[in-house]
Each structure stands twice: as C-alpha cells, then as structure tokens.
Chain A
C-alpha cells in the first residue's frame, strides 16, 4: 500500500508540471491582459483620455514584467512558488497566498458540505429506489433525480435570486455574512447568518449531487441485486436488508468510488455558476473574476491548486477503490 502511495505521489509531480504549463500558456494566449483592464477603468471611472489610459497600460506592463517572453514569465512564476512566494494579485494588490487563505476555507467548507450531503442523501435514495424498483417511491425519486440534473444551475440560481430579492425581499443576499455579523466573533447567531446567506448555493449543489449519486447508485445496485452471491446470502438466511447492505451495496459502490476523484473539480466548477450569481466570494468566483480581468498569477495559482486537489482526490479514490474491493487490491 505504501509503495503504491509513494508511486502515485511521485508520478503526480510531472503531471502537475505539464498541467501548469498547459494552463499558463492558455491563460496568456488571450489577447488582453490586466493592463487593458487598468486602462478601461481609468477611462470609465476616472474620465481619463485615451492617451492617458494607454500610457498607464504601457507603464503597467513595464512595471510588472508583462512584456517578457512567456517562458521567462513561466519560470519566474515556478521559481517563486518553489520558494514559497505565490506572487501578488494585481486586482487585490495583496499576496495571492492571502487571497487564497481568505477564500479557501469557506469555499472548501461549502463544497464539502454540498458533496457530503449530496452523496449521503443520494446514495440512500438510490438504495431505496433500487430495492423498490418500479414502485411509486422509485418513480418519485427518479423524478426528483431527473429534475436535479436537468435544470441548468445558473438559471435555477437566477430564478432563486429573483424570487428572494424582488418578490420576498430577503435581506441576506450576497457575501457570506451580513455586515453586522461579519464584525462579530463566531457564535450561533453568526452561524445562522452564514446559513441564511449560503443556503441557496447548498440547495442547488445538493440537488445536483443527489440526482447524480442516486442515479448512479440505483443503476449499479440494480445490477448487483440480481447477482448470484446476493441470492446465496439470502438463501443462507440473511435478511434482505442485510444482504443488500453487506453484499450488494459495496459492489455497487465501485464506479461511485471512481467518481470521487472527479468530484472536487466538478464541485468547485459547479458552485461557480451559483456563487457568481449570488455574489459569494469563493475560489471558483476568484477564478472567473481573475480570468476576465487578466489577473494571471491568481488564475495560474488557483488552477495549480485545483490540479493538486484533483490529483489528491484521484489518489484517495484509488485508495477507496482498493479498500472497498479486495480484488483490486490483490490484483494490482
């Protein structure tokens, strides 16, 4: 097991490098950069003339080394990272490590909540639906599942925000906390305020997660339910529930375990849609924002982080698979 782990971690490093090169190149290949954003802000907010705005853009590029060839910029970035310096964000004018530190914990908490809730509820629904195939319970859950994965999340979010802001007049919209509570230390009141702010994101994400997990689980379980060893277990006197839980479900979890590796990425990108619309400052939103204004180091660093999370998730899912299924463990 340890050898397997060591091997996976070591082989992850070249993968990361290749990924960073690809993303770095792609990010820099778009025609505009942050200097253009600076110029446009000067024009629209500061009523500066075109010449002044252009001069500011040119100056910005000189000041921040944006005119250097891409390779040099890339190595400069990698070199800094290896020395623990993640660079400065142009937009926030503060170290990127601070920007990430401010956003990461809450983003992760949000994403993990959505994932755990979605998986547990989804798997449970899937088991219930599969064991009562074709009953009204099955149809109801299938219907919910269908709704969950077929509504475009961003539209759902828009409708939600419209109803909350325009129809109901909810005050807790946008950001993680209301202004007042952001000044208070953590307490039940503050936690409740947090929930009031993020529940739409969680709702939309969980609905999606439930649907996917439920369908996966139901499909796979229906396969294993008819297998011979389940039949044997029943014949041996095991109650149906136990037979299902002890024998059928673990085998059905296979593809689900393989799916976990992709989960982190899906979730962060999944919550981007809703978070952008609700104005909640998460990591996903930071990626989209930095891409649109050309804050390239933020984008590159966040992508690197996502890549690492991805690979970690992938390793964990392999471990999970091995733990679940002795055949995989022994065979490798």
Chain B
C-alpha cells in the first residue's frame, strides 16, 4: 500500500530506493514507472515463467489448428493409449524421434475382456516439423494444410491417446482452449470493469449511492450460483446457435461473480478514501474524478490485478465444472469442460487415465495466470 509521497523512505531489500525516479515532469515520471515496473517484474522468476507460459498459451490458442498434429474430429481406434515416442527403432539410435502407432492384437484380456493393444514396432513413423495434415483456415481466413509437427505420412499421431470415439485428445485439448480461454477472458473483463467501477464509486462516495448499490450487491450475492446455473442451463433452447450460448454463459458467470470483487474493492476504497492526503486533496479542491483516478485507483489496482489473476483461473475452473455438469458447449464445438464430462467414470480413472488430460491443460493455464499475477503484483508497486 505504498503511496508516492512516502516512496523515498520505503525500505527495499536491495536498497535501490536511490534509483527512484525524480518527481520531475509528468511524462518522465510515467515512463520511469513502466520501466521500473518491468525491471521489478523481471526479477521475479515465477512472474517470468508465468509471462512466458501465458504468451505461449495465447499463441497456441490463436494458432490452434496449426499447432495440432491430428484432426480433432476424426475417429480412429477408441480408448487407445498414447503413441510412444522413442529415439530408438529396430536399427538403433536415430536423431529424429520415431513414433509407433497403437494397434490391436486381436486378443482379449482374460479378466476384463478388453482388446489388447500394443505399439506397432514394425512400422516406425518419423516425426517431422511443418508437415502436411488436415486442411484448416489459419486465423479464420487463410487456407492451409501445414501443421507444426506430425508424422510424415499425415496419419493421425496421438501424443495423448484417444477418447471414446478414437479422437485425438491432444488436438481436442488445444482446440478446446479457444473456447475455454475466450469465455474466461471475456467474463473476467466484465467482472473487473463492473466490479471495480461499482466498488470504487460506492466506497468513495458513500452515502445513499453506497447503500443502494450494496443492496444490489447483496441481492446478487444471495443468489446461489450452482442451482441457478443448473436451472438456467435447462432454459437455453437446443437450437440456439453457439454464439448465443456462449454469450449466455459469459453473462451468467459475470453476473454472479462481479459482486465479490466489488465488495473487496469497496473495502479497500473505504479505507483509502479516509487517508489524510486524500482529505487534504479534497480540502484543496481537487475534483473527485482526479482523486479517484490519481490517488485511489493506483492503490487499488494492485489488488485488482491480483484479483484478475485469481479470477481467470477461477472462471476456467467454473467453466470446467459447469461443463462437467452438462452446461457446456455442444458438439461439434470443443471445450475443456466438455472434455471433462468424459472423465466422470471409473474406467477412465483406472484404465484410460490419458483421458484426464484436460485437467492438465486446466492446471497449466491456472498456474501460468497465477504465476503471472504474482509477478505483476510485486511489479505494479515498484516503489
């Protein structure tokens, strides 16, 4: 909760306070702020890891079709384990990694009557980069058939095995990230904007506006989320286009979650608005807007940023849970929540654990945003 007035006196572990930017021109100060923030951010290992991962995630989401090696909708051998990758084949060590397709031997396991399968070591398939695969439109416009990696012959390559219809899990996970991340990002944007605005104004102005807005917040709070999701899920007509459905999901999740953020922001604002320098500013005649923007908001921002980085993973998790319950996008669309529906039986847990891969995707996403948030939280307050 440092404020710029006290900046020179704040202790740092490495005593770089002498580097604090001089309070000269307005532009110089802002530039210095960003630079300072970046330098501080760079020192946080978690933050850098988070930043890298988030960037990779976003790139992967945008260029999803390019990244995936197999068509996510093409059915092959059902419930197949991941294709093994090895640097060895019959001849010995090779620099180029080989993969072996999983085939069924025709025999049944005596206990479970499941067809036994094993990798076909007789037919190694080299893995190459920039191969030809199924056709798609990059960025929705440019037709292409190049994929980042895959097998030479363009046959399906299942790094993470297949699901109940024989579709590649890895490909579905990456394509699914589009919808899951889009929902999360848009929802969190709404939550942040509405929550912060209401919280700020409510905490600062107090009085009648505060009372009324807090009652509205109370109403939203008092609405139990889960039952409402379940009820609202049944209301969407089956033939509604996916965009309508997604908009609905985003609105419902934003509506049920903004209240929490607004209360936290309001709490902080309440405290800040009573601090002496704010009172002093008021006394001098500074406009409310200026006070809010220049004194209160920057101090609230660090908390808001921590909240954003906590909210994005939370929304991803809520979406996955809702998807698990059935409140998910419908095929042929793919989302992580929808993929998680397939995980809810014991055979998957015991015999086909690769189908749990979407959990790993969710974990990695959640981790990267949280790590990024950690780094940002420290950096946003470089003084």
Give the distance in Å from the alpha carbon of A215 to the alpha carbon of B314 in the complex.
Answer: 14
A-side contacts of B9, CB under 8 Å: 228, 231
B-contacting 9-mer, from A23-31, A47-55, A87-95, A185-193? A23-31
Q: A12-B218, A26-B232, A155-B359 are in contact. Are A224 and B321 (CB under 8 A)?
A: no
Q: Give the interface size class of chain B.
A: 35 or more
Is the CB of A107 closer than 8 A to any CB of chain B?
no
A239: interface (CB < 8 Å):
no
What's the minimum C-beta distance from B373 to chain A, rounded to whole angstroms?
9
One digit per residue, 1 when the CB lies within 8 angstroms of any chain A CB and 0 when it does not, for chain B 264-286 equals 10111011011100000000000
Contact (Cβ within 8 A) B224 A146? no
Would you call A146 and B367 a contact (CB within 8 A)? yes
Enumerate A21-70 residues with CB–CB distance to B below 8 Å: 22-23, 26-27, 29-31
**0/1 per residue, A259-300, Cβ < 8 Å to B?**
101100100110011000000000010011001100000010
- Which of B51-59, B98-106, B170-178, B341-349 is near enough to bind chain A? B341-349
Interface residues of A in 130-160 (CB under 8 A from B): 139, 142, 146, 149-155, 158-159
- Closest Cβ neighbor of A252 among chain B residues: B1
A22-B223, A162-B346 are known contacts. Are A258 and B235 too (CB-CB below 8 A)?
no
A183 interface hit (Cβ, 8 Å): no
Whether A269 and B226, one on each chain, are in contact in the complex, defined by CB atoms closer than 8 angstroms, is yes
Contact of A258 with B263 at beta-carbon distance under 8 Å, contacts A149-B366, A299-B227 already known: yes
Report whether A231 and B321 are in contact in the complex, using a CB–CB cutoff of 8 Å.
no
User: B267 — which chain A residues lie within 8 A by C-beta?
Assistant: 254-255, 257-258, 321, 328
Docked Cα-Cα span, A142 to B200, in Å, equals 30
Contact flag A255-B268 (CB < 8 Å), given A227-B2, A327-B274: yes
Kindly state the separation between the CA atoms of A257 and B270 in the bound complex, as whole angstroms. Answer: 13
B12 proximity list for chain A (CB < 8 A): 226
Q: Is the CB of B235 within 8 A of A226?
A: no
Q: Mark B202-214, 1 if CB is under 8 A from A, else 0.
A: 0000100001000
Is A258 in contact with B10, judged by CB distance below 8 angstroms?
Answer: no
Is there a chain B Cβ closer than 8 Å to A128's Cβ?
no
B231 engages A29 (CB within 8 Å): yes
Interface presence of B20 (CB below 8 A):
no
**With A151-B363, A262-B260, A328-B270 in contact, do A219 and B226 touch (Cβ < 8 Å)?**
no
Q: Which residues of A contact B264 (CB under 8 A)?
A: 255, 258-259
B227–A303 contact, CB under 8 A? yes
Is the Cβ of A228 less than 8 Å from the Cβ of B223? no
CB within 8 Å of A: which B189-234 residues: 206, 211, 215, 218-219, 221-228, 230-232, 234
Is B218 a contact of A154 with CB atoms below 8 Å?
Answer: no
Residue A251 at the B interface, CB < 8 A?
yes
Is A146 touching B366 in the complex (CB atoms < 8 A)? yes
Complex Cα gap A29–B344 (Å): 28
Q: Say yes or no for B120: interface residue by CB 8 A criterion.
A: no
Report the bound CA distance from A9 to B263 in whole Å.
Answer: 18
Q: Which of B305-350 contact A (CB under 8 A)?
A: 306, 310, 313-314, 317, 320-321, 324, 340, 343-344, 346, 349-350
Chain A, interface size: which category? 35 or more
**Is B27's beta carbon under 8 Å from chain A?**
no
The smallest beta-carbon distance between B190 and chain A, in angstroms, is 18
- Tell me if B222 and A291 are in contact (CB < 8 A): no
Write out the residue numbers on chain A whose beta carbons fall within 8 Å of the beta carbon of B374: 142
Q: Which residues of B contact A139 (CB under 8 A)?
A: 46
Contact of A80 with B by CB under 8 A = no
B370 touches A (CB below 8 Å):
yes
In the complex, are the beta carbons of B10 and A251 less than 8 A apart?
no
CB B320 to nearest CB in A, in angstroms, measures 5
Residues on B with beta carbons closer than 8 Å to the beta carbon of A220: 303
Q: Which residues of A contact B235 (CB under 8 A)?
A: 29-30
Contacts of A153 in B (CB 8 A): 321
A332 within 8 A of B: yes
Q: A150-B317, A166-B350, A226-B2 are in contact. Are A332 and B206 (CB under 8 A)?
A: yes
Within the complex, what minimum Cβ distance (angstroms) separates B336 from chain A?
10
Q: Please report the C-alpha to C-alpha distance between residue A263 and residue B11 in the assembled complex, in whole angstroms.
A: 35
B224 touching A303, Cβ below 8 Å: yes
Seed contacts A219-B303, A291-B227; 18 additional CB < 8 Å A-B pairs: A23-B224, A26-B228, A26-B231, A152-B324, A152-B340, A152-B359, A155-B356, A158-B343, A166-B350, A219-B377, A227-B1, A228-B9, A254-B268, A265-B225, A269-B226, A327-B274, A328-B267, A331-B273
Binding site for B on A (CB under 8 A): 11-12, 14-16, 18-19, 22-23, 26-27, 29-31, 139, 142, 146, 149-155, 158-159, 162, 166, 212, 215, 219-220, 222-224, 226-228, 231, 251, 254-255, 257-259, 261-262, 265, 268-269, 272-273, 284, 287-288, 291-292, 299, 303, 306-307, 310-311, 314, 321, 325, 327-328, 330-332
